[in-house]
Structure 1
Amino acid sequence: MINITQPHNLAPDVARAAAQQVADKLAHELGLSCRWQGDVLRFEKSGVEGTLTLLENQAQMRIKLGFLYGAFAPAIRSKVAEKMRKVFAPG
């Protein structure tokens, strides 16, 4: 399980756009399908499932990897954490 929490000071609509950027990157790189349910972006494909939850001052990413993707967990975590830092950065 990969858990990443990224603080932010973004307005809700800007935070949602930032979350969509992260989702688009994941969808492109891992072939995931994504859908919003309120303030929770759910994504999945065989062997990968997770959520990106938008809260007032933070975004929380949780990714559950199946056996085949488990070996790639450190690389996936690093890429996702970096993308989240970039899109949710203050400023």
Structure 2
Amino acid sequence: MSVIDVRRSHALDQAQARDAAETLARDLSRQFDVHYRWEGDVMTFKRSGVKGALNITPAELHVRLELGLMLRPFKSRIEQEIHAQLDQIIAG
């Protein structure tokens, strides 16, 4: 199992952080066919070959994905997209 683990500090309020997470999730869902759902302030991701979560705290967004064998070749692309989206959202 290959892991993507991204932590990003933020100064957003809880509603802004949740909106940012929702934007990221919609984009990942569209690009990589990842399904997600909210469980409190934790968004869980799942599809065949990938599972993970995005946890929102008052100071940090933490994305952790576990990629199965078939998605390992896309690890770099997925990780780059997460970084790009978080940079855009937090700077927003």
Fold shared per TM-score above 0.5: yes
- 1:42 pairs with one of 41, 44, 57: 44
Q: Which residue is equivalent to 1:15?
A: 17
Q: Which residue is equivalent to 2:85?
A: 83
Aligned pairs, how many? 90
User: Alpha-carbon deviations, 1:45-76, whole Å to 9, x = none?
Assistant: 00011100001111000010000100111111
| Displacement after TM superposition at 1:41 (Å) | 0.4
TM-score, length basis structure 2: 0.94
Q: Secondary structure at the match of 1:56?
A: coil
Amino acid at match of 1:63: L
User: Alpha-carbon deviations, 1:21-64, whole Å to 9, x = none?
Assistant: 00000110111111000110001000011100001111000010
Structure 1 CA distance, aligned partners of 2:71 and 2:78? 9
Amino acid at match of 1:72: F
Structure 1 CA distance, aligned partners of 2:81 and 2:34? 15
Structure 1 CA distance, aligned partners of 2:35 and 2:20? 17
TM-score, length basis structure 1: 0.95
| Displacement after TM superposition at 1:9 (Å) | 0.2
Q: Which residue is equivalent to 2:6?
A: 4
Q: Which runs of 5+ in 2 are unaligned?
A: none
